[in-house]
Amino acid sequence: MKIGNIWRSAMLSAAVAAFAMLPARAQQPAVSIGAADIGGVVTGSNGPEAGVWVIAETGDLPTKYAKIVVTDDRGRYVIPDLPKANYSIWVRGYGLVDSPKVRAEPGKIVDLKAVTAPSAAAAAEIYPPIYWFSMIHVPKKDEFPLPKIKSQGEWLNIVKSGACQSCHPMGTPGTRVVPKEFSDQFPVAADAWARRLASGSAQAFMARDIGRLDTDKALNLFGAWTDGIKNGDLPFAKPERPQGIERNVVVTTWEWGHPTSYLHDAISTDRRNPRLNANGKIYGSPEDSTDMIPILDPVTNTASEVHHPVRDPATPNTREAPFAPSAWWGDKPIWNSQNINHNVMFDEKGRVWSTPRIRPHADPAFCKEGSDHPSAKAFPLKEANRELSFYDPATQKFTLIDTCFPTHHLNFAFDANQTLWTSAGVVGPAVIGWLNRKMFEETGDEQKSQGWTPFILDTNGNGKRDDYVEPNAPVDPTKDKRINVNHYAVAVSPSDGAVWGTILGYPGGIIRVMPGDDPTHTALTEYYEPPLPGYGPRGGDVDKNGVYWVALASGHVGEFDRRKCKVVNGPTALGKHCPEGWTLHQLPGPQLRDVADAGSAEASYYVWVDWYNTFGLGENVPIVMGNLNSSILAFKDGKLINFVVPYPMGFFAKNVDGRIDDANTGWKGRAIWTTYGSRTNFHLEGGKENKPRAVKLQLRPDPLAH
């Protein structure tokens, strides 16, 4: 060997040895951060940890604040744009237990050590609820019919988003364990479950829904589930860590409300113009829990609230609901609400519209038979459980609007009248109601400005509204037909002004209403049932092409394209006439182990379509609530992308909306907004100390963007 080669070989060997002796930090790729960021590398026993979450949380701000990111394929992370504060930072991930919390400030590089879970049981503690819920046994197909239930799908619809899990997820720490107070008092698990279902102010809802099942069988199955977990049963499936674009999400949360309150929805902007209220306050709807409307200022990280009034002091209050002592909260009700404010929406003037209760249920005279109101003459009403209101942040005043029809969800049309369309919700008088907002603002006349109409199918097929037969009467070839349904969701199509909604139940369905020139007398309805294995619609939305997307209790998101229908009216157009219009997309997560049909154990609550690319995946992207996956799911290019909110695990969104604060700042100026929407946040990690959390999700171009 020549001298030169010997020298080069020696130098190379020395360099390799020197590199091997460098500390681990110097060997890792550099992480670039700014003054408001925290970044670093997460390593475990086998090297860099890819696809794990890094959580930064602080109590130094006016309200508790957290920001969550995901590591890239080399274990690197950057938590961007943190307010100045001291943070606790830790690592969470599947296959791990939470790492010790480290104190840090923005502008610092903080490398973190992941901690491998010492056992399968320890690892499963942070699994999303779906992995625990899917363990529950349900009656097999060949056990049906049961006395009250005809099929397995009907049973599942009730146990999932048709009832039980429309209010909270099953599989959280607080649901998969029976409180000791009850298990000590009732050694038989089914009896302990019967007692726990009587707890708190939701007793009547619990009794209603367990009563819809074969009650004893259901209680025994629930008891066997929690007994099995107590005895060491673990999920049979394991979640995968975030992959690909799922690692690009940035999740920010703020506490708002109270430990004793919960939220149904949050709103950040006008559905029709996502640039409205840029960088402005977020408003929530606390439903049965309180009359205090929570408000979040995400710029100052401040949570506040305003009291929503009622018109009649005799308006019922949820604190008077049937009640039994709670293992969590003791012998006093924690709910205290007259409003039961369900849903919130911005109008184009920056005012916040709601569906509150403002009076006792009996309707005023102008709604009833004998009134000269056009809608009352056509279809009189007797009662409503919620009405309308709006709050003007500029004046800090509420305007209350009495309606004859019940309200639940609401959405504005694109027409000159700024028509506000509403839904009745779970039960009601089988009408769709609206407010001519332009008329109301010009005249202040709440009676003349409102209207409603029953749901009339064009069964004679002539394309116009005619005299109709009642729901239980056979189809008459010379007449139309009324159907006795109440719609839960409501959405207005930007393509043709049609009003879409969902009909709860098994198999359930969706409706499309074309108002016509005089909706009281001209509105026509179309009704479509999903084909099996799909069933159990909850919430839905319509995209810019007029395609309707709906969350199904079967563990699917349904896509319904009316343009594919061979029949839309006539004597056969009663619900089952357009299976060709449906496409079912299976949601992620395991299926229940006693269910052979396609689908998932997921119990998705709602779908919202991102018309304006507020999130960053493009226009017209359906966003599906992953209620048992602790996530939101984006449907893009034929696939569902799972964006998990891992802390507190058990994130349960009932809807989202999207806002563009500044289109010129790229991903930083766009976000989806929502809130933890479970009625039982105390069932999550953290227990009774938990408050609801407002949630902001942003999608950056890569996991290190800042």
Sign of CA dihedral 521, 526, 529, 530: negative
Of the candidates 120, 137, 155, which is a domain's last residue? 120
Average pLDDT over residues 320-340: 96
- 241 pLDDT band, cuts 50/70/90, is very high
Per-residue tokens: 469: 């037969």
Which pLDDT value is given to residue 641? 98
Average pLDDT over residues 312-316: 98
60: CATH:
2.60.40.1120
Q: Give phi and psi for 120, each to the nearest 5.
A: -65, -35
Residue type, 206: M
Domain total in the chain: 2
Could you write out the DSSP letters of every residue in 304-369?
A: EEEEPP-S-TT---GGGS----BTTTBTS---B-SS-B--EEE-TTS-EEE----S-SBPPGGGST
Residue labelled with tokens 């097929």 = 461
Task: Determine the Cα–Cα distance for residues 268 and 284; give it in Å rounded to an integer.
Answer: 9
- 28 pLDDT band, cuts 50/70/90, is very low
Which pLDDT value is given to residue 76? 98
Q: Does 133 reside within a domain? A: no
Could you write out the DSSP letters of every residue in 621-685?
A: EEEEEETTTTEEEEEETTEEEEEE--TTS----S--EEEES-GGGGGGGEEEEEE---S-GGGST
Which pLDDT value is given to residue 15? 39
Which pLDDT value is given to residue 677? 97
Which pLDDT value is given to residue 12? 38
Which pLDDT value is given to residue 30? 75
Residue labelled with tokens 């298990």 = 183
**With 90 as the cut, is the pLDDT of residue 1 above it?**
no
Asked if 551 and 695 sit in the same domain, the reply is yes
Task: Determine the Cα–Cα distance for residues 357 and 345; give it in Å rounded to an integer.
Answer: 16
Average pLDDT over residues 184-206: 95
CB–CB of 527/457 below 8 Å? yes
- 546 pLDDT band, cuts 50/70/90, is very high
Task: Determine the Cα–Cα distance for residues 154 and 609; give it in Å rounded to an integer.
Answer: 28
Instruction: Write out pLDDT tens, residues 617-676.
Output: 999 999 999 999 999 999 999 999 999 999 999 999 999 999 999 999 999 999 999 999
Asked if 528 and 665 sit in the same domain, the reply is yes
What is the number of helices (H) and of strands (E) in the chain?
A: 12, 41
CA angle 440, 442, 448 (to 5 degrees): 40
Q: Does 106 reside within a domain? A: yes
Average pLDDT over residues 270-298: 98
Q: Does 206 reside within a domain? A: no
Residue range(s) defining the domain that contains residue 58: 24-120
Percent with pLDDT over 90 in the chain:
96
Residue labelled with tokens 């159990």 = 536
Q: Does 461 reside within a domain? A: yes
533 preceded by cis ω (within 30°)?
Answer: yes
Q: Does 138 reside within a domain? A: no
Instruction: Write out pLDDT tens, residues 481-535.
Output: 999 999 999 999 999 999 999 999 999 999 999 999 999 999 999 999 999 999 9
* Alpha helical stretches, state H, 3-108: 3-20, 24-27
Of the candidates 120, 135, 155, which is a domain's last residue? 120
Of the candidates 61, 92, 120, which is a domain's last residue? 120
Phi/psi region, residue 555 (left: phi>0; alpha: psi -120 to 50; beta: rest), is: left
Q: HEC string of 486-500? A: CEEEEEECCCCCCEE
Which pLDDT value is given to residue 119? 98
Q: Does 357 reside within a domain? A: yes
Q: Does 17 reside within a domain? A: no
Which pLDDT value is given to residue 295? 98
Instruction: Write out pLDDT tens, residues 581-620.
Output: 999 999 999 999 999 999 999 999 999 999 999 999 999 9
Per-residue tokens: 247: 């690692």
Mean pLDDT computed over every residue of the chain: 95
Instruction: Write out pLDDT tens, residues 427-445.
Output: 999 999 999 999 999 999 9
Task: Determine the Cα–Cα distance for residues 682 and 702; give it in Å rounded to an integer.
Answer: 34
Which pLDDT value is given to residue 21? 36
Which pLDDT value is given to residue 9? 43
Beta bridge partners of 621: 610
Instruction: Write out pLDDT tens, residues 97-135.
Output: 999 999 999 999 999 999 999 999 999 999 999 999 999
Asked if 681 and 532 sit in the same domain, the reply is yes
- 16 pLDDT band, cuts 50/70/90, is very low
- Measured distance between the N- and C-terminal CA atoms of the chain, rounded to whole angstroms: 52
Q: Does 593 reside within a domain? A: yes
597: CATH:
2.130.10.10
